Amino acid sequence: MGSLLSIGIRAMMANQAAIQTVGQNIANANTPGYSRQSVVLTTPNGQFSGGGFFGRGVNIQTVERAHNEFLTSRAVNSKALAHMDSTRMDKMSQLEKVFPPGETGIGASAGQFLSAMVDVTSRPSDPSARQVVMGKATELASRFSSAGQQLSELQAGVVSDMRTNVDVVNQLAEQIAMANREISGAIGTGHTPNDLLDKREQLISKLSEFVQVSTLAANDGSVGVFIGGGQNLVLGANAETLSVTVDPYDDKRGTLSIGGAVNGRTLDDSVMTGGSLTALLRFQNKDLQDARNLMGQMAAALSNRVNSQQALGLDLSVPAGKGVPLFAVGAARSLPAATNGRDATGRFLTDIKLTITNANQLQASAYKLQADPSGVAGGYQLTRLSDGDQRIVFDGDTVDGFKFDFTAGPPGNGDSFILEPVGQAALDMRRVLDQTSGIAAASPLTASTIIDNKGSTTVNSMYAVNDKLDKTLAPMTITFGDPDPVDPAKLQYTLTLADGSVLNGTWSAGQRIGNEPNAVPPIDLGFELSLNGVPRKDDTISIEVTKYPATNNGNAKAFLNIQGEKFIGQRLQPDGSLAVGSTINESYASSMSEIGSRVQGATYLSGVSVSVAADAEASRAGQAGVNIDEEASRLMQYQQGYQAAAKVLQAAQSIFDELMRIAAR
């Protein structure tokens, strides 16, 4: 009789436990991270009797949770990638706004500034025409500096976001360590603390939004959490601290360190593969720096080209003087590493002075200078960070349009520098010419045709093109002769200088005289003369020093040509030839295209990774989540089991009562 009562009691307790577990599942059906639980029931060994083995009911072994390590790990990893791609897409969308298209863009503003010179060519001394040029110059400089300021604000925002994310990561790491401590204590009971395990997995999943993690289970039930190529963030009940530290070269940028801000180990973005912190680091180190250099390259090259042409003309001062700069840009700078050698006062033992030698050859890149690993005496390794190009350089060398000099002796073996020829150019660009009379619209030389000429030739333009122009060689005369015997389409001409020396050349329609690098021998007098019409034999053109700058528009016409010149990003080839650059409009369009393609790529990757993460989470939830319909079915099943067990107890009680009555007779 005791066995029957025991079986009934065990059955009721087992079904009650199952009903309680089903109730727990139903209650947490919508709780994030909750894993479905179920009671594990086992049958105890039977009791032997002469009639065989009789069962002794049911045992409650434990309560287990539905869990698949592979699906959980896949969901965590895909979540990290999704948040990395989404964060980068968000930042790239903000960066794209710095390069607006159409009339609001820098390309259009540069075109408007240069086109404003048209009225100056028509009315060289008109103050109103000159004021329009000054206004357009101010607008152009403001757009560059505004773009530079927006990039600086984006940089500050990135560092701020990194600090916010790091604070959350540190809190999550502490909570995971605490969960490890609680789980390790509960494991000793021989049963798994399901709710604590769910809590820890939820914390790890949340942590993966900021930085991709890998986990390793320990024998005591705790898990180690590792980031950045094996750096332990959580080990047992101990959690390391992440911190945002100042970049060793630039205090406006941040780096990620683990183990504290003082003695921490820097985490390079190349060893981090997911999470919003990884996206922020990569955006800062690559996309944002590329954008600054692209903008700076355009600002430096355009301002230098305009200032150079301005310097070749004459202004309206009395007496007329050489044109002074119209624009100024941020200076090139060298950034020593914080670990470089210092003296007793804390000042760096050496520094590098950068000098722009040819702004047309400046590249949209920063450079890293460090000791030459091959040990060449006096040599240093210079790496162009935009494409990884490396070369061995020496003190005083000129590379990509800039020269560097050590100001206080050579650097030490462990010293390194980041060189930024154009990084600050756009941010600090401004108009520095204040007076409209300072616009150098006049050419230092004036060309005119002789009244006795028989051909239809007229002077189209006459302006200086480089500093080789020597006004002491004027007056000059150009006299046309017979057709060239080699190419009858060309006319021979003789250019006689003031000292009586003679230069011979050939002319064809559209050809400029005075700056002919392809002539044999080459002619470079520092000016270009452009003609309209066709001269005849013995026709003469006179070139004299400009006497009336207020009526001369030669240099203003030279400004109009700048818009079509391919002077940005020229590159000196190994064979000594010069690779053609791009116009200001082409350069800006290329920059917009580069940033736009990155935005499209980031948007596509974000869409894919978010979809993959959603699928991975759905697979995990399908394995571990709660299905209300299934739970309702189980609830009915266990309810019926409980009622049946109660009937067993009722039957046992009836039998027991009957036996007691029989025994009482």
The residue among 492, 524, 545 that closes a domain is 545
Identity of residue 577: S
The H or E element that residue 238 is part of is strand 238-239
Would you place residue 53 in the very low, low, confident or very high pLDDT band (cuts 50, 70, 90)? confident
Phi, psi of 357 (to 5 degrees): -100, -30
Residue 200 domain-assigned?
Answer: no
Please enumerate in sequence order all residues whose Cβ is within 8 A of that of 281, keeping only pairs 6 or more positions apart, or say none.
162, 255, 256, 269, 272
Expressed as residue numbers, the domain containing 467 is 445-545
Identity of residue 217: A
The β-bridge partners of 496 are 477, 502
The residue among 545, 569, 596 that closes a domain is 545
Residue 262 has what pLDDT?
65
- The pLDDT tens digits of the residues spanning 559-575 come to 999 999 999 999 888 88
Residue 289 has what pLDDT?
95
State both tokens at 137.
Answer: 């110059």
State both tokens at 33.
Answer: 């991270």
Q: How many CB atoms lie within 10 A of CB 102?
A: 7
Residue with tokens 């630039």, as numbered in its chain: 250
Q: Where are the beta strands (DSSP E) in 303-440?
A: 327-328, 333-336, 352-356, 367-371, 379-384, 389-394, 398-399, 402-406, 416-420, 430-431
Residue 482 domain-assigned?
Answer: yes
* Cα–Cα dist 304/297, whole Å: 11
* Cα–Cα dist 340/441, whole Å: 49
**Per-residue pLDDT at 1 exceeds 60:** no
- The pLDDT tens digits of the residues spanning 332-368 come to 999 999 888 888 888 888 899 999 999 999 999 999 9
Residue 645 domain-assigned?
Answer: yes
Give percent of the chain with pLDDT exceeding 90: 57
What's the whole-number mean pLDDT along residues 160-188?
93
Which of 550, 501, 546, 509 is CA-nearest to residue 527?
A: 546
Strands 231-235 and 238-239: antiparallel
State both tokens at 616.
Answer: 């991975």
Residue 87 domain-assigned?
Answer: no
Helix (H, G, I), strand (E, B) or coil at 10: helix
Residue 527 domain-assigned?
Answer: yes
Whole-model pTM above 0.75?
A: yes
Residue 2 has what pLDDT?
53
CA atoms within 13 A on the CB side of 366: 22
Burial class (CB in 10 A: 0-12, 13-18, 19+), 174: middle
Residue 471 domain-assigned?
Answer: yes
CB-based contact 586:570 (threshold 8 Å): no
The residue among 501, 521, 545 that closes a domain is 545
**Per-residue pLDDT at 608 exceeds 90:** yes
What's the whole-number mean pLDDT along residues 139-160?
96
The count of domains in the chain is: 2
- Bigger pLDDT: 63 or 50? 63
Helix (H, G, I), strand (E, B) or coil at 630: helix
What's the whole-number mean pLDDT along residues 519-537?
88
Residue 665 has what pLDDT?
66
Sheet harboring 379-384: ordered strands across?
333-336, 416-420, 367-371, 379-384, 389-394
Residue 39 domain-assigned?
Answer: yes
Mean pLDDT rounded to a whole number for the chain? 90
- Bigger pLDDT: 574 or 448? 448
CATH code where residue 538 lies: 2.60.40
Q: How many CB atoms lie within 10 A of CB 234?
A: 29
First-to-last CA distance in the chain?
20
CB-based contact 133:116 (threshold 8 Å): yes
Q: How many CB atoms lie within 10 A of CB 270?
A: 12
- The pLDDT tens digits of the residues spanning 614-631 come to 999 889 888 888 888 888
- Are 539 and 631 contained in the same domain? no
Residue 582 domain-assigned?
Answer: no
Strands 352-356 and 242-246: unpaired
